[in-house]
């Protein structure tokens, strides 16, 4: 998984955690360091030697950002559609009330209230369906990222939904990103 673990351990593109001495993640980082064997670190170092893994991780990160942006835009479009639907319904109700005879107004208002409740229920259902779609898409992206890194021979990566393993993979990615950044800084200094 290349860039974010969502809360509740459901997976998602993995975020890059920060390990600072005074941060609440300190114990998680210590645990991460203790869980990495010399063999795993050695295998990771070998996989990183030619720079291909850095390129793969960067590519996965870019794909993830595009996916997240697309999903975000889809959700925004749905929210805008719902906003327009609510405005149109309010306008329709207002016009009907203005054209209604006073003795029929309570019946009309009751019918409009039922219609509004039905529309709000439909909107909630559509939003929940969109949110489920987003979670499933992000879960698929994470599995794709894990699979890609596993196929590239990066130690510690395989398809999993186990929260502890996801945290380990997240920390491995943070290590890879830091090494990549140091490599870029070293390259700039050499020029």
Residue 16 DSSP label: -
List, for residues 115-138, the tens digit of each pLDDT value.
Answer: 999 999 999 999 999 999 999 999
Alpha carbons 159 and 20: distance in angstroms, whole number: 28
Q: Is 31 exposed, middle or buried (0-12, 13-18, 19+ CB in 10 A)?
A: middle
Condensed to tens digits (0 to 9), the pLDDT of residues 162-181 reads: 999 999 999 899 889 888 88
Q: How far apart are CA 15 and CA 48, in angstroms?
A: 20
Rounded to whole angstroms, the Cα distance separating 50 from 182 reads: 15
Q: Let me know the angle formed at the C-alpha of 170 by 64 and 42, rounded to the nearest 5 degrees.
A: 120
pTM for the model: 0.72
């Amino acid at each position: 998984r290349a860039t974010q673990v969502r809360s509740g351990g459901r997976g998602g593109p993995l975020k890059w955690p920060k390990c600072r001495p005074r941060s609440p993640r300190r114990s998680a980082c210590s645990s991460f360091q203790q869980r990495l064997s010399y063999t795993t670190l050695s295998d990771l170092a070998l996989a990183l030697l030619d720079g291909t893994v850095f390129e793969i991780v960067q590519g996965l990160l870019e794909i993830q950002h595009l996916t997240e942006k697309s999903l975000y835009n889809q959700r925004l479009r749905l929210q805008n559609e719902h906003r327009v639907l609510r405005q149109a319904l309010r306008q329709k109700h207002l016009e009907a009330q203005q054209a209604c005879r006073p003795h029929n107004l309570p019946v009309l208002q009751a019918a409009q209230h039922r219609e509004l409740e039905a529309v709000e229920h439909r909107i909630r259902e559509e939003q929940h369906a969109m949110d489920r779609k987003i979670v499933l898409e992000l879960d698929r992206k994470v599995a794709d990222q894990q699979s890609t890194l596993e196929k590239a021979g990066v130690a510690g990566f395989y398809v999993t939904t186990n929260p502890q393993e996801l945290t380990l993979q997240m920390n491995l990615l943070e290590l890879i990103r830091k090494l990549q950044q140091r490599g870029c800084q070293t390259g700039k200094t050499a020029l």
